Amino acid sequence: MSEEKKCSLKKHNEINAIYYCEQCNIYMCNKCSNLHSDLFENHINYELGKQIINTGLCQEKEHKTELKFYCKNHNKLCCAICISKIKGDEYGQHTDCEVYKIEEIADEKIKSLKDNIKYLEDISLNIENSMDELQKIINKIDENKEKLKIKISKIFTKLRNAINDRENELLLDIDNKFNEFIFDEKIIKQNEKLPNKIKEYLEKGKNIENEWKNNNKKLSIFINDCINIENSMKNIKLIKENIENFNSKKICVKFSPEQEEKINNIINDIKSFGQIIKKENSTNYISNLNSLIINENKNYNKLLKSWINNNKIINAELLYRLTRDGDKVSKFHELCDNQGSTLTLFCTSDGNVGGIYTPISWDTTSRSKYDTETFMFNLNKTEKYNHIGNKTSIWCLDHFGPWTAGFGFDNTMKKIEHRGINVNTAYERGAEILPNNTEKTVYFDINEVEIYKISIEEED
């Protein structure tokens, strides 16, 4: 067991050493090592516990004898005490190991050194370029990190503005709702004087009635007073009707939702809004191709990636799975039509794994479509069958599933029809996609079908 070393600096002699300098023969703590590196740039500091250091003497406690032996089991120099037959706490650690004199392993170590030198020379030619590329990647990561922060800030600023705008709209709406009652409030204020007005007009009317009987000479004055009372009565009746209408109303202005549960649901939606996803962009594999058919077979995934596009990032999104969505062709069209590029994988009952890739959207009405990038494949054979010339690439009809020229799913997603002659005219060696069928029509039972939406993007 190696003795724990302390820093050689006197005032640091209680601090554990981390490094050792062979040229100076001193042990250093982290602080001393930093100063030492500034002073002696060409000195090599060995990290204790991780690198083998050599002072010429064994570093085991109480040994302090010359290192004359080599332990192959531990790839370590040792002294005579280390390999002695006396076994104690600090003795005989290498008693049962394969031990040699250091002279015996000199040739082996010099050969290993030359191999390492050659390796270092080889990589030194490219290390500067590699470091430059690494720095570019780091800069790109930092740039993308800042862009992502800005994007998130913009989204949440937009959300906050929307919440503030909605708050202002509701507050204004409250004012508008209550302003509808202003007219009624004026009526109420007018009605405070109404009893006195009624009493006044009542007394005035009775006086006119009495005087009219006794004095006909003031007839014009009496009639004019009657007209004034009639006009006032219209106003009094209107006020009376408004009061009755106001009293009959059951006015209630509320804010919804005001229930604690609904408000908490909105808060929880806000708390769970958005997520940061670590996405490892790889140009080697198709991302998210979680296929039951190829069972995460990396070689199949990598092969499909190279066939579709080997230089860009490819992401897959499962649209249809036979065992999940059923065998109706109509279900295929419901889930997969007008989705752009798709990858169809199938597995026959006899274990053949094949498929179709096309950048053309499936639909129910276009009949024949043409595109040179469409191809078929058999993963068991690791073979790709490219499209030929200007022949039909795929057929799109409501009673067809994925269908190329003479090959595909007809009335059900559980069976493939393979017309050997027809498929050979549109795809090179197309008849070989399933067991050789160069002439007749053959049907194959299907255990599983998966159709993925494929998106291709530039690497960030």
pLDDT, tens digit, 9 for 90 and up, residues 81-131: 787 766 555 566 777 788 899 889 888 888 888 888 887 777 776 676 667
Residue 275 domain-assigned (yes or no): no
Q: How many angstroms separate the CA atoms of 231 and 233, rounded? A: 5
Are 238 and 322 in a shared domain? no
Lowest-confidence segment of 46-55, 88-97, 236-245, 404-413 by average pLDDT? 46-55
Q: Which of residues 102, 128, 144 is at a domain's end?
A: 102
| AA letter at 443 | Y
Are 451 and 303 in a shared domain? yes
Residue 61 domain-assigned (yes or no): yes
Residues in the chain, how many?
460
Query: What count of Cα atoms within 13 Å lies in the side-chain half-sphere of residue 65?
Result: 12
How many domains does the chain contain in total? Answer: 3
As a whole number, mean pLDDT of residues 280-305 equals 82
Using the predicted structure, report yes or no on whether residue 11 has a pLDDT greater than 80. Answer: yes
Are 225 and 319 in a shared domain? no
Distance of CA 57 to the CA centre of its chain: 57
Domain that holds residue 244: 182-248
Are 419 and 315 in a shared domain? yes
Are 202 and 317 in a shared domain? no
- Cα angle at 57 between 51 and 59, to 5 degrees? 55
Distance of CA 37 to the CA centre of its chain: 44
| Both structure tokens of 296 | 């995460």
Give the best-scoring range by mean pLDDT among 159-173, 275-289, 290-304, 333-347.
Answer: 333-347
pLDDT reported for residue 318: 94
Using the predicted structure, report yes or no on whether residue 454 has a pLDDT greater than 90. Answer: yes
Using the predicted structure, report yes or no on whether residue 446 has a pLDDT greater than 90. Answer: yes
pLDDT reported for residue 197: 72
What radius of gyration, in Å, describes the C-alpha atoms of the chain?
46
Q: How many angstroms separate the CA atoms of 129 and 136, rounded? A: 11
Using the predicted structure, report yes or no on whether residue 2 has a pLDDT greater than 70. Answer: no
Produce one character per residue of 417-449: b if its CB has 16 or more CB atoms within 10 Å, e if not: bbbbebbbebbebbbbbbeebeeeeeebebebb
Are 303 and 412 in a shared domain? yes
pLDDT reported for residue 249: 64
Residue 254 domain-assigned (yes or no): no
Using the predicted structure, report yes or no on whether residue 178 has a pLDDT greater than 70. Answer: yes
Residue 126 domain-assigned (yes or no): no
Using the predicted structure, report yes or no on whether residue 57 has a pLDDT greater than 60. Answer: yes
Are 302 and 424 in a shared domain? yes
Q: How many angstroms separate the CA atoms of 120 and 104, rounded? A: 26
Percent of the chain, pLDDT > 70?
Answer: 84
Using the predicted structure, report yes or no on whether residue 252 has a pLDDT greater than 90. Answer: no
More confident residue, 197 or 406: 406
Are 447 and 313 in a shared domain? yes
| Both structure tokens of 11 | 């005032």
Residue 242 domain-assigned (yes or no): yes
Identify whether the C-beta of residue 79 lies closer than 8 Å to the C-beta of residue 55: no
Q: Which of residues 86, 102, 118 is at a domain's end?
A: 102
Q: Which of residues 79, 102, 125 is at a domain's end?
A: 102
Give the best-scoring range by mean pLDDT among 88-92, 190-194, 420-424.
Answer: 420-424
Are 244 and 330 in a shared domain? no
**Per-residue confidence band for 295, with pLDDT thresholds at 50, 70 and 90:** confident
**Per-residue confidence band for 248, with pLDDT thresholds at 50, 70 and 90:** low
Lowest-confidence segment of 105-114, 258-267, 307-316 by average pLDDT? 258-267
Q: How many angstroms separate the CA atoms of 447 and 441, rounded? A: 20
Give the best-scoring range by mean pLDDT among 66-70, 380-384, 417-421.
Answer: 380-384
Are 308 and 236 in a shared domain? no
Residue 39 domain-assigned (yes or no): yes
Mean pLDDT across the chain? 81
Neighbours of 174 (CB within 10 A): 12
State the alpha helices, DSSP H only, in 314-443.
322-325, 329-336, 420-426
pLDDT, tens digit, 9 for 90 and up, residues 142-167: 888 898 899 889 999 999 999 999 88
More confident residue, 280 or 145: 145
Residue 112 domain-assigned (yes or no): no
| Both structure tokens of 406 | 């003479």
Neighbours of 404 (CB within 10 A): 25
Are 93 and 208 in a shared domain? no
Are 315 and 448 in a shared domain? yes
Residue 216 domain-assigned (yes or no): yes
pLDDT reported for residue 1: 42
Q: How many angstroms separate the CA atoms of 428 and 386, rounded? A: 6
Residue 415 sits at φ, ψ, to 5 deg, of -145, 135
